[in-house]
């Protein structure tokens, strides 16, 4: 297949170009907790406590499984953005089909391992009796959508890599919207209960895949057709696997940090554990728009690397950094001002409320301490500096564990929250410390 490549242009980066990606993706992340709330409400109205507990366990297992595989979205965005920057249209679609093949392959592997996933997952979560039966019912159905879920990761990565934030938003709204409607219809109207909620998810994923593929072929026609050569380029496949491996290791390290926090928080008793869980919602809320800025950083820095335009890269770093910092400062002020009311809305338990208010300043601060980490992750993924990102994450995790070991015995839950904030700050600062040297390696001359 002939390669269609045009001279790499010098392109401008503006606040508008950053927000054109960041705003739609922030809005796209918002329906996710709404979906979880809907599923919980549907099962809650059946009056079956075991089904509700089973849903919570099954949802937690799938969150862990698929969040670990979200590297498929990130790597696709980065590599397509770089090909877009080079104006290499053939490589844009080659990356898409290589990533799609990898997504489907992982999805089929998940299906093949489903008996092991069900047995091991339920055992680790301590599910028994009716709770285990309900969770298994959900998992057996939901896991059918594995290849579809991962294909949607690739489709989202494709449109984001091409700078189509509004299309990404539309696909996310379609996926979650269909999911919510079908979960209510099948779970409540038809009385399928937890099975109906699971099938609603499968149908939502299928609708998004069909719409995404239809868009690709409608927009690009025969140019989007796959060719065998796309899947047999050993060097390109190696680059894709390397990038995905490094992002996966980074994700596991990040997950480990939060698991450690939960596990140690549990040792302080049920009230403190519940209070910490309530407060982590503040970090999750801030993560919606910080992740949106990070996604914009991925696309624009990736395009700048492809175009070999250092000026555009540096400008992208400055603008996304400015937005991350500004939004983080606003978040801290908002959470400190309205945090007590938000805590009261989330929980009605008096002792949990009081405990959460006690540690509220630490939770509010996570938006600020995490802002640079989110942004730098986006920059390093977009530039495909994945080895450096992986190594800095491992160093950050080591620093976090050291802080936990030192501060928790001295300060209890205060020490745990301080360690988390230090971990978030360390991630961003370590990545920032590598930025100049990586820039000089990537851009060997001044553009």
Q: Per residue in 156-169, pLDDT tens?
A: 999 999 989 899 99
Average pLDDT, the chain: 88
Closest CA to 65 of 176, 168, 139, 157: 139
Mean pLDDT, rounded, for 10-28? 84
Tokens of 389: 């990102």
Q: pLDDT digits over 122-174, tens only? A: 787 676 788 788 888 989 999 999 999 999 999 999 999 998 989 999 999 99
pLDDT at 441 over 60: yes
pLDDT at 405 over 90: yes
Task: Give pLDDT, residue 3.
Answer: 47
Position 383 confidence tier, pLDDT thresholds 50, 70, 90: very high
Q: What is the pLDDT of residue 4?
A: 46
Q: What integer pLDDT is reported at residue 10 of this predicted model?
A: 56
pLDDT of residue 345: 80
Residue-wise pLDDT tens digits, 263-313: 888 788 888 888 888 888 888 888 888 999 999 999 999 999 999 999 999
Give the residue, 46 or 7, on which the prediction is more confident: 46
pLDDT for residue 285: 84
pLDDT above 80 (res 323): yes
Maximum average pLDDT range among 34-38, 184-188, 327-331, 353-357? 327-331
| pLDDT recorded at residue 46 | 66
CB 280 within 8 A of CB 358: no
- What is the predicted pLDDT for the residue at 445? 63
Average pLDDT (41-66) is: 76
Q: How confident is the model at residue 217 (pLDDT cuts 50, 70, 90)?
A: very high
- Name the least confident of 41-55, 254-268, 340-354: 41-55
For residue 400, the model assigns a pLDDT of 95
Higher pLDDT, 72 or 55: 72
């Amino acid at each position: 297949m002939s390669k269609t490549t045009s001279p790499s242009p010098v392109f401008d980066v503006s606040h508008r170009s950053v927000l054109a990606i960041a705003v739609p993706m922030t809005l796209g992340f918002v329906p996710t907790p709404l979906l979880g709330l809907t599923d919980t409400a549907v099962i809650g109205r059946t009056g079956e406590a075991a089904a509700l507990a089973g849903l919570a366990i099954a949802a937690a297992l799938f969150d862990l499984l698929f969040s670990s595989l979200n590297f498929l979205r990130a790597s696709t965005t980065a590599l397509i953005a770089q090909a877009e920057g080079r104006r290499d249209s053939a490589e844009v679609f080659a990356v898409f089909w290589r990533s799609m093949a990898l997504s489907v392959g992982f999805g089929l592997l998940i299906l093949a391992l489903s008996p092991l996933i069900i047995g091991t997952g339920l055992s680790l979560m301590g599910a028994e009796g009716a709770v285990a039966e309900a969770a298994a019912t959900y998992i057996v159905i939901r896991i059918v959508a594995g290849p579809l879920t991962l294909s949607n990761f690739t489709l989202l990565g494709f449109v984001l890599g091409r700078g189509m934030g509004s299309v990404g938003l539309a696909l996310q709204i379609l996926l979650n919207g269909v999911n919510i409607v079908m979960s209510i219809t099948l779970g409540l109207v038809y009385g399928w209960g937890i099975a109906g909620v699971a099938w609603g998810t499968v149908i939502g994923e299928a609708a998004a895949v069909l719409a995404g593929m239809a868009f690709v072929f409608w927009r690009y026609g025969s140019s989007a057709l796959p060719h065998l050569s796309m899947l047999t380029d050993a060097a390109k496949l190696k680059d894709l696997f390397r990038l995905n491996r490094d992002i996966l290791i980074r994700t596991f390290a990040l997950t480990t940090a939060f698991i450690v926090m939960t596990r140690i928080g549990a040792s302080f008793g049920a009230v403190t554990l519940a209070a910490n869980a309530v407060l982590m919602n503040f970090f999750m809320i801030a993560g919606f728009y910080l992740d949106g800025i990070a996604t914009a950083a991925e696309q624009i820095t990736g395009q700048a690397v492809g175009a070999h335009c250092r000026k555009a890269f540096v400008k992208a770093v400055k603008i996304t950094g400015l937005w991350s910092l500004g939004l983080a400062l606003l978040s801290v002020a908002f959470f400190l001002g309205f945090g007590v009311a938000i805590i009261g809305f989330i929980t009605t338990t008096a002792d949990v409320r009081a405990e959460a208010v006690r540690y509220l300043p630490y939770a509010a601060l996570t938006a600020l301490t995490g802002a640079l980490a989110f942004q730098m992750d986006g920059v390093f993924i977009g530039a495909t500096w994945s080895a450096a990102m992986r190594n800095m994450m491992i160093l950050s995790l080591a620093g976090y564990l050291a802080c936990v070991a030192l501060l928790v015995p001295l300060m209890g839950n205060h020490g745990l929250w301080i360690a988390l904030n230090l971990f978030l700050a360390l991630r961003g600062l370590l990545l920032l410390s590598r930025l100049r040297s990586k820039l000089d390696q990537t851009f060997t001359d001044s553009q």
